[in-house]
Chain A
Amino acid sequence: MGLAERILQGDIRAAARLMRDVDDGFASASEELKKLYPHTGKAYLVGITGPPGAGKSTLVDQITAAYRKLGKRVGIVAVDPTSPFTGGAILGDRIRMNRHADDEGVFIRSLATRGCLGGISRSTGDVVNVMDAMGMDVIIIETVGVGQDEIDIVRMAHTTTVVMVPGLGDDIQAIKAGILEIADVFVVNKADRDGADRTVRELSAMLEMGERRNGDWLPKVMRTEASRGVGIEELVAEYENHRNYLFSSGAIERFTNEKNSAILSEMLKERLFRKVYDRILADGTYGEIVSGMATRSVDPYSAVDSIIAGHLFSIPEVSE
């Protein structure tokens, strides 16, 4: 039996292995993903992003506990950075989630960015699909704790949470406008610390100043103390509000179309590129062009023109 069939029968090891195959770029993985695709699209996807150490993993742990109380099965994808120097990674988000490790209603997968810059790995979407096909009701995606415009997670998750901590104080003005636009829900975590009220107030004020049309979603600023589980029920209730908004306003259709369009164009780009690239690398054309550019005897503009003219719609398979 193939991995996809085993996964649909509830085989955990098969699911874990397919995630691995996806992450390692095995060609066989897409055959399995094809079979799983009709069984996906049911899970509700929550993204959690924010600066390093803001308490994202601790929040994920608490949110998971809350959803488990509601009887939901929860998948978690936790992304940490790959070291650009060694290609290795320490994936430490699980430390905060250990109590769910042996709960059969929870599946946690740690992923390394492997060179991807958008806060998640290239494999994240497919790993989410595997969890979706496994029957997870909610899938929580924790991004790398990086910058402020994690566009990738916004595309992927139905509800994007941006986690902040108090004490940003005057710096709050420095927060790029981008971050205001990506959040569906703001969380000021570590509310036990000084300055939480002020951070909540300032964020709320900035959000209200933002341009919005009638009927648009206005993100709320929630306060949590993840390490003690304070404010979590309210946060999960706000997720439910946002989900209801998506479905009742029709925004879900726009979200889904934009997401699927991005997935398709990305995949097409990658496959077309690989096909041409592998071929011209194998027959030496690529190397010739690069050395030609060094002496200016070849320009890349004409080279690409002629590659496309020569290969478009008639690209023979490269033999393995």
Chain B
Amino acid sequence: MTERKLRVLVGKPGLDGHDRGAKVVARAFRDAGLEVIYTGLHQTPEQIVAAAIQEDVDCIGLSILSGAHNTLLPKVCELLKEKSAEDIAVFCGGVIPEDDIPGLKSSGIKEVFTPGTSTEDIVAWVKENIHG
């Protein structure tokens, strides 16, 4: 049987200007054999969702430090639903207070990685939970 190559979109919504974390994660995915569509900084939820659909990714990993996670992340999930693309899983990492995690998960975010999570753990989670 032919096997699918996993594709993941890594991007950074919002206004803060650091993408070092996102780049480290992108490299870890590449080194694990995934194809990473890296979209860089300052993405709007609309751009992220359009890109994810055009690229036919299996999941979206968003890095967010700006504190706007409670608006931007649910918006991504909502837009995916609007486009009947909620099969594309969304996970995120960044500075996210514990208290916000249940709310994010109920809005459709599959997993939240808090600072200190190793890239190995993130890669392992994707390999375990995302199937092409």
Contacts and interface: CB of A to CB of B under 8 A. Distances in A.
A232 B47 CA distance: 24
Contacts, number: 92
A242 interface: no
Interface in B25-64: 26-27, 29-40, 42-44, 46-51, 53-56
B46 A102 contact: yes
B50 A101 contact: yes
A17 B36 CA distance: 17
A240 interface: no
Contacts of A20: 4, 7, 56
Interface string B97-121: 0000000000000000000000000
Nearest to B88: A13
A25 B1 CA distance: 10
B47 A102 contact: yes
Contacts of B3: 24
A24 B3 CA distance: 7
Interface residues of A, number: 31
Given A12-B53, A16-B54, A91-B38, 9 more contacts: A13-B53, A24-B5, A88-B29, A88-B30, A89-B36, A94-B37, A101-B47, A108-B54, A114-B5
Contacts of A90: 26-27, 30, 36, 38
Contacts of B7: 20
A204 interface: no
Contact of A91 (B4, B35, B85): B35
Given A98-B47, A102-B46, A16 B56 contact: yes
B84 interface: yes
A91 B37 contact: yes
A167 B27 CA distance: 31
Nearest to A99: B47
B4 A24 contact: yes
11 contacts: A13-B85, A16-B54, A27-B2, A87-B33, A88-B33, A88-B35, A98-B39, A101-B50, A102-B44, A108-B55, A109-B55
Nearest to A320: B1
B5 A91 contact: no
Given A94-B38, A95-B38, A86 B32 contact: yes
B129 to A, nearest CB: 18
- Chain B interface residue number, banded: 35 or more
Given A20-B4, A94-B39, A86 B54 contact: no
A148 interface: no
Contact of B30 (A23, A27, A83): A83
A110 B11 CA distance: 15
Nearest to A108: B54
Nearest to B36: A90
A23 B57 CA distance: 13
A186 interface: no
Given A91-B36, A94-B37, A16 B53 contact: yes
Nearest to A82: B35
A87 B43 CA distance: 27
Nearest to A16: B56
A19 interface: yes
Pairs of residues from A and B, 8 with the lowest C-beta to C-beta distance, nearest first: A88-B30, A95-B40, A16-B56, A101-B47, A102-B50, A102-B46, A20-B56, A88-B33
Contacts of A16: 53-56
B43 to A, nearest CB: 7
B50 A92 contact: no
A261 B12 CA distance: 44
Contacts of B37: 91, 94, 110
